[in-house]
Structure 1
Amino acid sequence: MMLIFGGLAAFLLPELPPLPDPVSSPAIWEHVSEMAVIVALFGAGMRIDEIGSWGRWRPATRLLAVAMPLTIIAVALLGVGVASLSFASAVLLGAILAPTDPVLASDVQVGPPHKGEERPVRFALTTEAGLNDGLAFPFVYLALFVAHEGITPVTWGLEWIGKDVIYKIVIGGVVGWAGGRALGFVLFNIPRNAALAETGSGVIALAGVFLCYGSSELIEGYGFIAVAVMGFTLRRIEKENDFHRRLHDFSEAIEHGLTALILVAFGSVLPVLLADLIWTHVAIALLLILVVRPVTGWISLLGTSLSARERLVVAIYGVRGIGSIYYLAYATSQGEIEEQAELWSIVAIVVLLSTILHGFTGGRAMEWLRPPGRQNEKAAGATEQF
């Protein structure tokens, strides 16, 4: 609704000063969306109360290792075959549209710390959203390599695999773990007789999150992975302390504020972005939302402990949103990508359709998963159970 509100405001009030066009001025969109994703990823890590067994993580692992690469390949092929994009632009399109958005997918994720039992569907979607933004980054760099040096892996293949795939992922995870441990020590042990956690100062914790992100980026690790791992690590320290819930609520309030700002702003520039919209762009968006993600998600979850209904919901609810805006703004700000107007047009229609379709049906899908005889209870109960 906020996207539509922003679009209507721009249409009905043409005298309002226009916001920067993402095509010509991607930097501001990159930085604002980056902040929203950072806070959302940290919050996703904070939501996980219990680690559980390996079987509990298998669906998310499958989504990351199978569904995401298959989605990138499928969208890239659609970009080349349907929209006639260059190979570099098509790979970039696949990379930015493959991850499940951690910001807009909160309705189908687990609840705040200490909320209660975490059902498999919400757990899978939460852990997937928490990690796949960082894991999509190597494919963004792959597109930048191809755009700059051409389809010649012999010249850049080793650097891409060694640095962008292995080094940056590992460094992001290590920095996130170390940052979580350090922040936990500061919050719960310094000073010993008046732990900072008891003051409820979420500002200090959020400062630590951005410090962790910046530290990871400074040594060329993936900051998105770092903050997700940091949230997960911090949640393991003093697990029963009420500060975890207060910190989550504080970060969620910031996340919601940034989300509202970005969605209204993005809605206001939708008329500009959709001016270049053609039927092939709409076709790619619909195929991604209605075919590619559901099919790749379903395939990746075969053999897991999820029931058919649970697999279907997890496969369908790969929400696309602010993370895609960030990735495209980041890539286009590098100045190497062609067909930027076409890419923004496709991403804009994907975000619009995903927000509407997934946003209006997410609650019903969670209700559909509830045991027979309990499907008429309040939606709040559904949130607690799933």
Structure 2
Amino acid sequence: MEIINIALVIIGGLVFFLGVISRRIREWNFSEPFAALIVGVLLSSAGFDILDLKLLNPRILEEAARLSLAVGVMGVALRVPSSYIIKNWRSIAAMLGIVMPFMWIMNSLLVYWLLDFNFLTALLLGAIMTPTDPILAVSIVSGQLAKDKLPERLRDLISVESGSNDGLAYPFVLLPILWMAHRPEKALNHWVINTLFWEVGAAVILGALIGYTAGHILRKAQSKKTINESSYVAYTLSLTFLTLGGIKLIGSDGILAVFVAGAFFSATSTEKERRDEKRVVEGSDRFFTIPIFTLLGLALPWQEWGKLGLEGLMLALLILILHRTPILFSIKPLVPNLKNSLDVLFTGWFGPIGVAALYYARLSMRQTGIEELWPVVSLVICMSIVLHGITATYFTKLYGKYNPEKSGNE
């Protein structure tokens, strides 16, 4: 119990402190995930050795990442107007149908080229690092500076992509895992029937039903005045956990279902209600975001990083530079929301890798027993947190300076 109480004091104090100075952090070209990561490192054996993650449940990192990811994608779904997805379906389809597979292939090729992994393991690592992290992405495209300097179409595109591709990354991750365990024909049959049709397809359908039904119930409760304000503000957080747990219990993709449920729930809300819902989830998001990055700092494999050497650092940097920008330049005419090269450069660079990769890495390690996944993925995550954290404010100001539209909101 002592270790749990120490963790509660540290995490609670950190959430409190970072909340008090949240504006200052952005002014210092810092980000809350970056600050939480540093605190985790200082608490670990690499720092003052105050908290040992090994004394806690071995699955705590995976489950904490799953909860943080669910809250993050729900926040994205509530943040973006429901009409945006319908009006901008071409841009979203291109980002998910073309850019996402390219990211998987590019990541895998870089891993296979630079590190000593077989092809299937390289494919698995590439898939793990494919999804854009909604928590890190939102920290980049939210706040007054982003509203003033970035076009709304760009902020919404990055948000929707980061929220939707986290759940859609699951089939990419599972395919190499199935190939490792079964013959190619059996693995492919299982992947198409179980993964695509059931785990992805059912998640979309059931998530839509849950979100629409939850919105309809809330409207009824409001019309009959059976719900008070204190219950209303917790409604979306309850919807997040209900969807995540319920869909997972039937063996489907809970993360994807949460995003779809949030989008359909948001479609039933008025603008004022959406703002209230967003504030609730944003507050919850901070409470889940800071602990997960602190836990990441506690779990960093320093010795294994040393073994990766210069090749590991090169891999992390090349993935961040190459896995999005080249393909975005190639398909720019297919993405109407990207109107100029500045849009492509900004969107290409800010495709952060974070909690989604952490979750899929721990899930894959549990299913395959390949411990070597963690040093690679954690190094890329930390590189993303650091580089995207320190460049977010500067690059946003730079975009605003050279943006031909000269307007944050269109």
Instruction: Name the TM tier (shorter chain).
Output: 0.7 to 0.9
Partner residue of 2:60? 28
Partner residue of 2:81? 49
Is structure 2 residue 277 aligned with structure 1 residue 247?
yes
Is structure 2 residue 238 aligned with structure 1 residue 238?
no
Partner Cα separation in structure 2 for residue 353 and residue 44 of structure 1? 23
Q: Which amino acid aligns with 1:217?
A: K
Q: Which amino acid aligns with 1:44?
A: V
Partner residue of 2:97? 65
**Cα gap change, 1:284 to 1:26, in 2 (>3 Å):** farther
Partner residue of 2:4? none
- Equivalences for 1:344-363 in 2 at 5 Å? 344-363=374-393
- Equivalences for 1:1-386 in 2 at 5 Å? 1-10=35-44, 11-14=46-49, 16-20=50-54, 26-52=58-84, 56-109=88-141, 119-149=152-182, 152-190=183-221, 192-194=223-225, 196=227, 198-199=229-230, 201-240=232-271, 242-270=272-300, 271=302, 274-305=305-336, 306=338, 307-334=340-367, 336-338=368-370, 340-341=371-372, 343-370=373-400, 385=409
1:275 deviation in Å? Answer: 4.7
Partner residue of 2:25? none
Q: How many residues align?
A: 369
**Cα gap change, 1:84 to 1:302, in 2 (>3 Å):** farther
Q: Is the 8 A contact 2:175 2:191 kept in 1?
A: yes
Which ranges of structure 2 fall in alignment gaps of 5 or more residues? 1-34
Q: Is the 8 A contact 1:131 1:225 kept in 2?
A: yes
Structure 1 vs Structure 2 CA RMSD? 2.8
Q: Which amino acid aligns with 1:331?
A: S
1:77 deviation in Å? Answer: 2.0
Q: Which amino acid aligns with 1:13?
A: F
Partner Cα separation in structure 2 for residue 283 and residue 226 of structure 1? 35
Query: Could you tell which deviates more after superposition, 266-275 or 57-66?
Result: 266-275
1:50 deviation in Å? Answer: 4.6
Partner residue of 2:16? none
Deviation per residue, 1:260-312 (Å, 9 max, x gap): 11112211232355354322222211110122222233334344332111111
Partner Cα separation in structure 2 for residue 373 and residue 317 of structure 1? 16
Q: Which has the higher helix share?
A: 2
Structure 1: 4+ residue segments shifted above 6 A: 115-118, 373-376
1:155 deviation in Å? Answer: 2.1
Partner Cα separation in structure 2 for residue 374 and residue 268 of structure 1? 44
1:42 deviation in Å? Answer: 0.7
**Cα gap change, 1:322 to 1:197, in 2 (>3 Å):** farther
Partner Cα separation in structure 2 for residue 293 and residue 238 of structure 1? 34
TM-score, normalised on structure 2?
A: 0.82
Q: Is the 8 A contact 1:179 1:212 kept in 2?
A: yes
1:132 deviation in Å? Answer: 0.4
1:237 deviation in Å? Answer: 0.9
Give percent identity, aligned residues only.
25
TM-score, normalised on structure 1?
A: 0.86
**Cα gap change, 1:277 to 1:195, in 2 (>3 Å):** farther
**Cα gap change, 1:299 to 1:211, in 2 (>3 Å):** same
Q: Is the 8 A contact 2:316 2:380 kept in 1?
A: yes
Deviation per residue, 1:160-187 (Å, 9 max, x gap): 1122123322211111111111111222
Query: Could you tell which deviates more after superposition, 56-65 or 295-304?
Result: 295-304
**Cα gap change, 1:94 to 1:373, in 2 (>3 Å):** closer
Q: Is the 8 A contact 2:61 2:295 kept in 1?
A: no
